[in-house]
Amino acid sequence: MLRSSEPLASVYEKHARHSLGEAGQLKAASHGRPLGIKSRYVFNSAKRTIVTITLHHGDIPTELSFGDAVAVDTEAMGLNNHRDRLCLVQLSAGDGNAHLVQFEQGKYDAPNLKNLFLDQDVTKIFHYARFDISIIKKYMKIECTPLYCTKIASTLCRTYTDRHSLKELCRELLGIELSKQQQSSDWGADTLSEDQQLYAANDVLHLHALREGLDKMLAREGRAHLAQSCFEFLPVRTELDLAGWLETDIFAHS
């Protein structure tokens, strides 16, 4: 059953150097929330924008729209999608706002979220899509297409480095430093901490900007068609993962 959405209770200045924009350019600002609900927002003084993090339980509201591209990430109890359950899905329209969808164990109906993932007019942007679309397929029983993976795009065009993490991409392409302190934490907890919510939001807030930068590099290097072919193959790769070929390269000679 869908419960009401809960805006993040508070955001502190201690997170500013890590979260949602240029280091040292963020400060917490309090505003009265719509419909008489109190919230705290983060104000990016460099970009003159207000950042909000909204926590939903079980699904997103019907009226929520992300335009023609939505950034997506997931958090689970671990990295083994046969063992570790899906706990959280993060979404952003690239507008500086993040929506987090928290799931109770075994309850993944989420018709509005499923409709978003199935919408062929909306590109789903991931970083390391292979894991995310695999765990979404396992627990929500759907395919996420069409999709874009910033890790694959980076690997194809940034051949001068072997560093293709989200943190490295944000640092090099956007000049943004991300904190990864909450990467290993209990995402299955009934109540997510403010640090966890901020970490989760950061994983989707910058994906639109990264795609734009990576697309320019792919076009310059003549590899955009290779990236697109990889994106289209990913659902097959994740089906192989779920079928038991996770650690096997079926194209290898031995």
CA dihedral 81→56→92→206, nearest 10 degrees, is -70
- Taking residues 186-200, what's their average pLDDT? 94
The tens digit of pLDDT for each residue in 127-156 reads: 999 999 999 999 999 999 999 999 999 999
Q: Dig out the tokens for 245 from the structure.
A: 């070929």
Q: Which of 148, 129, 124, 146 is nearest to 213 (CA)?
A: 148
Kindly provide the residue ranges of all beta strands, DSSP E only, lying in the chain, ordered along the sequence.
3-7, 26-32, 38-44, 49-51, 53-57, 69-76, 86-92, 98-102, 123-126, 147-149
Q: How far apart are CA 188 and CA 72, in angstroms?
A: 18
Per-residue model confidence as pLDDT tens digits over 3-29: 345 443 333 233 333 334 333 233 333
Listed by start position, the domains of the chain span 53-244
E runs forming strands in 58-202: 69-76, 86-92, 98-102, 123-126, 147-149
Q: What element of type H or E holds 239?
A: helix 224-240
pTM of the model: 0.82
**Residues 81-92, mean pLDDT to the nearest whole number:** 95
Question: Is the Cβ–Cβ distance between 153 and 175 less than 8 Å?
Answer: no
Q: How many whole angstroms separate alpha carbon 86 and alpha carbon 67?
A: 25
Domain 53-244 indexed as CATH 1.10.287.130: no
Q: What are phi and psi for residue 130, nearest 5 degrees? A: -55, -45
- Is the model's pLDDT at 1 over the cut of 50? no
Q: Which H/E stretch holds residue 84?
A: none
For residues 16 and 27, the answer to whether their CB atoms sit within 8 Å is: yes
Q: What is the predicted pLDDT for the residue at 3?
A: 36
Average confidence score pLDDT of the chain: 83
At 233 the three-state DSSP class reads: helix
Q: What are the pLDDT digits (tens) for 152-178?
A: 999 999 999 999 999 999 999 999 988
